[in-house]
Amino acid sequence: MSERSEITLADGVRLHVETSGPADAEVTVVFLHGWCLDRRTWHHQVRALRDTGARVVAYDARGHGRSGSMRLRSATLAQLGEDLAEVLDAYAPSGPVVLAGHSLGGMTIMEYAESYPEVFAERVGGLLFVSTTAEGATHTCYGLPTPLTPFLRAAEQTGAGVLARLGAWRPHRAVLPALRPGVRWLLFGDGYAAGDLEVTMSAVGRASLRSIGGFRASVGAQHRVDTLAALGDVPAAALVGDRDRLTPPACAESIADALHGTELTVCEGAGHMLMMERPDEVTAALTTIIDRAAANAGPRRRTLPAAREQYGQAA
Residues 127/237, Cβ–Cβ less than 8 Å: yes
Residues 6+ apart with CB under 8 A from 152: 142, 144
pLDDT at 310 over 70: no
**CA 148 – CA 248 distance, rounded (Å):** 16
**CA 294 – CA 130 distance, rounded (Å):** 21
For the chain, the domain total comes to: 1
pLDDT of residue 308: 34
Give percent of the chain with pLDDT exceeding 70.
83
**CA 86 – CA 28 distance, rounded (Å):** 15
Model confidence at 306, pLDDT cuts 50, 70, 90, reads very low
Query: How far, rounded to the nearest angstrom, does the alpha carbon of residue 71 sit from its chain's CA centroid?
Result: 21
Candidate from 24-28, 62-66, 248-252, 311-315 with smallest mean pLDDT: 311-315
Model confidence at 176, pLDDT cuts 50, 70, 90, reads confident
pLDDT of residue 188: 97
**CA 276 – CA 253 distance, rounded (Å):** 21
pLDDT digits (tens, 9 = 90+) for 188-243: 999 899 999 999 999 999 988 888 888 888 888 899 999 999 998 899 999 999 99
Ramachandran bin of 234, using left for φ above 0, alpha for ψ from -120 to 50, beta for the remaining angles: beta
State mean pLDDT over 261-271.
96
We report the CATH number of the domain holding residue 278 as: 3.40.50.1820
pTM, whole model, 2 decimals? 0.87
Considering the chain, what is the average pLDDT of its residues? Answer: 87
Q: Which domain holds residue 105?
A: 3-314
**CA 221 – CA 134 distance, rounded (Å):** 10
CA gyration radius for the chain?
Answer: 18
Candidate from 49-53, 65-69, 177-181 with smallest mean pLDDT: 49-53
